Amino acid sequence: MTLRWFRRRSPDLVCIEFVEVVTDYLEGELPARQRARFEQHFGACPHCSRYLEQLRRTIDLTGRLTTDDVDALPPDTRSDLLAAFRGYQGV
């Protein structure tokens, strides 16, 4: 868990810092103080609020995918997705 942004002296959280720890927030890994700071930021920032909602929706939708869904992809789409994932993972 990256807590780099919590060590700053400023109580304000900037959007890039929000993005860096959003996964920790969604997984319930942030200590109460940092969680409150995080929630204060996305409560006041429409961009981060929208980003958080998009992540929640993505997690919800991808959690419903089945092997049949993946098998139903056209071969070129499946290849493109696998190539993009491998490139992202550095594989």
- Interval 28-50: pLDDT, tens: 999 999 899 889 988 999 999 99
Give this prediction's pTM. 0.60
> Tell me, what's the pLDDT at 16?
84
Tell me how crowded residue 46 is: count the other CB atoms within 10 A of its CB.
9
**Residue 35 in contact with residue 51, Cβ under 8 Å?**
no
Q: List the end-to-end C-alpha distance of the chain, in Å, as a whole number.
A: 22
Q: In terms of DSSP H, where are the helices of the chain?
A: 15-26, 32-44, 46-62, 67-71, 75-89
More reliable by pLDDT, 7 or 20: 20
